[in-house]
Amino acid sequence: MLDERSKYLRRQIIRALKGGGRGHVGSSFSLVEIMRVLYDDVLWPDDVCILSKGHGCLAQYVMLVEKGLIDAKELDRFCRSDGILGGHPEHHIPGITFSTGSLGHGLSLGIGAALANRAHRIFVIVGDGEINEGSIWEAALCAGKHKLSNLTVIVDYNKRQSYGRTEDVQPLEPLVKKWKAFGFSAYEADGHNVGQLRDSCFTVTHPLKPTCIIAHTVKGKGVLEIENHPLWHHKDVFTPEDAVRLEKALV
């Protein structure tokens, strides 16, 4: 069961989906608790948060609204020509440091930021389907080489991607061992357990290694009808009726 804050944030995502009439539903819902913990409890003013799996941007947008960086009315203009919020994060949006969405690139951006200022903490959120990209592992080698202890990678491990189960498209296990082999301090957490995520972000660090938190999540978490359902990866048409149904079904 989700607590009231997690339900509220999902309602805000639904508001944006209704405003734009489209969007990545499952990917945004799986990210909510990760983004909630980062923006509520973890990020300091000079920290950088890079959503490499940019298609889950609605989970980040609602947190930027919460923190007063974006006007809430922009949610109603999501993916519209009169608004600033597109289907992927862009650097012109307040609170967004880098434009992302071309999968596999965000970690390299994060490494550049971490190298440029080791006094700042850099958090990069990647998708499990995204880490099929070779660029992710090239970047991981670089992070391990430079002992970037100020870098934390969070894998949204919902075990689904756009056209199938991750284990069918490209098996990732043993995932913890892989990240450790690339020089990371790697751990697992329940990606919908706020307490576990908070503890991981605060305590799971190594003075000479970057950190990887593998967050086990459910795609579409919060609405049983859409959880792990491939048709809800992205909706080209999201209707007001869909919005009402999803809001009522939140658990």
- Report the SS3 class of residue 23: strand
Q: 184 near 210, Cβ under 8 Å? A: yes
Structure confidence at residue 202 (pLDDT): 87
Q: Output DSSP code: residue 153.
A: E
> Tens digit of pLDDT for each residue in 119-144?
999 999 999 999 999 999 999 999 99
Domains of the chain by range and CATH?
A: 4-249 (3.40.50.970)
Q: Please, is 63 exposed, middle or buried when counting C-beta atoms within 10 Å of its C-beta (0-12, 13-18, 19+)? A: buried
Q: Which residues of the chain have pLDDT under 50?
A: none
Structure confidence at residue 217 (pLDDT): 98
Q: Which of 195, 180, 184, 191 is nearest to 215 (CA)?
A: 191
Q: Is the pTM of this model over 0.85?
A: yes
Average pLDDT, the chain: 96
> Tens digit of pLDDT for each residue in 186-209?
999 999 999 999 999 888 778 999
Q: How many CB atoms lie within 10 A of CB 163?
A: 10
Q: 125 near 52, Cβ under 8 Å? A: yes
* 57 Cβ neighbours under 8 A, 6+ residues apart: 24, 28, 51, 85, 86, 87, 88, 89, 101
Structure confidence at residue 35 (pLDDT): 98
**In 87-220, alpha helices (H):** 106-116, 134-145, 166-169, 175-181, 194-203
Structure confidence at residue 143 (pLDDT): 98
Q: How many CB atoms lie within 10 A of CB 8?
A: 14
User: Letter for the amino acid at 121?
Assistant: R
